[in-house]
Amino acid sequence: MNGTGEVVGGIALKRDGADSLATIDNIKAKIAQITPGLLEGVSIKPVYDRSQLIGSAIHTLKHILLELCHRVRERAFETITDPIRTFRSVGAAITRKPESLFF
């Protein structure tokens, strides 16, 4: 892929609804399985691997969900310990900025 020799390209597709990470893992396993049978000097080199991108997205989503759960728990605790103050502050938040209830 440095401009010398021959290169063949290929694309692996995922079925609609299939697990992306499982598909990527299956492709990597298949490449590892067939690599020993390749001719000398022939290799398979992935050019674009989405597994890191997917892993980062999952990590971000987990972080956001945990933060949301923490905020909901805080609001529930406030409601139990001082309901009148909480309802006043929620009412004020709704009139100013409705999305401030959660973020």
Q: Where are the domains of the chain?
A: 1-49, 51-103
Q: At residue 101, does pLDDT exceed 60? A: no
Task: Please report, rounded to a whole number, the percentage of residues in the chain having pLDDT higher than 90.
Answer: 41
Q: What proportion of the chain, given as a percentage, has pLDDT over 70?
A: 78
Residue 20 has pLDDT above 70, yes or no: yes
Q: What is the secondary structure of 3-16 as a DSSP string?
A: SSS----------T
Q: Which SS3 state, helix, strand or coil, does residue 3 take?
A: coil
Q: What is the pLDDT of residue 29?
A: 96
Q: Which residue has the tokens 């929620």?
A: 90
Asked whether the whole model's pTM tops 0.95, one would answer no
pLDDT in tens, 70-94: 888 887 777 777 766 666 666 665 6
Cα 6 to its chain centre, rounded Å, is: 35
Give 39's DSSP letter: P
Is the model's pLDDT at 8 over the cut of 80? Answer: yes
Q: CB–CB of 83/75 below 8 Å?
A: no
Alpha helices in the chain (DSSP H): 20-34, 51-81, 83-96
Q: Provide φ and ψ at 3, rounded to 5°.
A: 95, 0
Averaged confidence pLDDT in the chain? 83
